[in-house]
Amino acid sequence: MITQPMYLPRNKTGSLLNLVITDVRLDLATLKFTLAILLLILPSISFANCQISYRVAQYPPYMLADKDGTWTGLDVELAQAIFDEAKCKVTFTTMPWKRGLHLLEHGGVDMMSGLSLNSERQKYAYYIGPMRDESIGLVVDSNSQFKLTELEDLKRLPKRIGYLRGVYYGELFAKKFNTDAQFADKFETADNEQTNLLKLQNRRLSAVAGDKYNSIYKLRLQKIDHKYKVHNFLLNQDVVYFGFSRASISSGDIKRLQAAFDKLQKNGALKGIRAKYN
């Protein structure tokens, strides 16, 4: 008679425990692998989530596009340095100044540069900066002998002064413009600098108000700097800022951008960019 070997039943509890341990090991390995992947892709996810639309326009030496459409200039270089440090992507959106302010208020564009600090704009824009200095001067005929030492003197000019619609020329200018009707009547609005310059060339204006360094650049570019000059008198001299839309920029992104600005300001990177344009 052949005796069949006796097989003892396997310990079911031990088998289950082994399975659990194996599963845990697998889960830990999967978790480590997943964390490693996340560490690799999180920077790119963060980069993709921070996307800024930046209002630009031909406004040398602060903003200018070459024939290939690449934007450069002082403001653009300062902004790009901050975007790179904060790991934000930028889209350049071309539009006039006044439309830019309107869209900034309503979230149609995320950012503008060169903003003067005033209470009205602070209602709809976060400010980061100051980014640079700004001097507002007057372009006049090179043969003119206007004696100007204060805003009141502008009322004695023979013709009106061209200025841009929607541009802030400083607190003192705004106060006098709003309280002195004779002073306000001395100014004629336009939507762009070129319109004002043409009026000056046609002797319809005594002067044109504008950024000092932008005016000098344009006079040289058009080769008329021998006919016109920037008067020594300044309507306003102050610092300007980056402005970010409260309607479209999250508080987290603002903190990130502010931290980037602070770091670059502290290590001298922004100072180095400004020095290139002095």
- Is the domain of 181 the same as that of 163? yes
If asked whether residues 227 and 147 sit together in one domain, one would say yes
Is residue 230 located within the same domain as residue 252?
no
Asked, for residue 64, whether it belongs to a domain, the answer is: yes
- The pLDDT tens digits for 122-149 are 999 999 999 999 999 999 999 999 999 9
- Rounded CA-CA distance 213/176 in Å is 25
Regarding whether 186 and 126 lie in a shared domain, the answer is no
The pLDDT-based confidence of 192 (bands split at 50, 70, 90) is confident
Whether residue 240 contacts residue 131, with contact meaning beta carbons closer than 8 Å, is answered with yes
pTM, to two decimals: 0.73
Residue 264 in tokens = 């670059």
22 in a structural domain = no
Range of the domain at 221: 135-237
Tens of pLDDT, residues 16-34: 556 545 555 556 656 565 5
What is 34-55 written as a DSSP string? HHHHHHHHHHHHHHHH-EEEEE
Whole-angstrom distance, CA of residue 154 vs CA of residue 192: 21
Long-range contacts of 221-230, Cβ-Cβ distance < 8 Å, separation of 24 or more = 221/60, 226/142, 227/141, 227/142, 228/139, 228/140, 228/141, 228/142, 228/200, 229/139, 229/140, 229/141, 229/142, 230/137, 230/138, 230/139, 230/140
CATH number at residue 76: 3.40.190.10
Q: 251 and 116 in one domain?
A: yes
Residues 87 and 205 in one domain: no
Residues 153 and 101 in one domain: no
Helix (H) or strand (E) holding 210: strand 207-211
Tally of domains in the chain = 2
Overall average pLDDT of the 251-272 stretch = 97
The answer to whether residue 42 sits within a structural domain is no
Instruction: Mark whether 160 and 125 lie in a shared domain.
Output: no
Residue 265 pLDDT > 70: yes
- For residues 52 and 77, state if they share a domain: yes
Give residue 92's region: left, alpha or beta (phi > 0; psi -120 to 50). beta
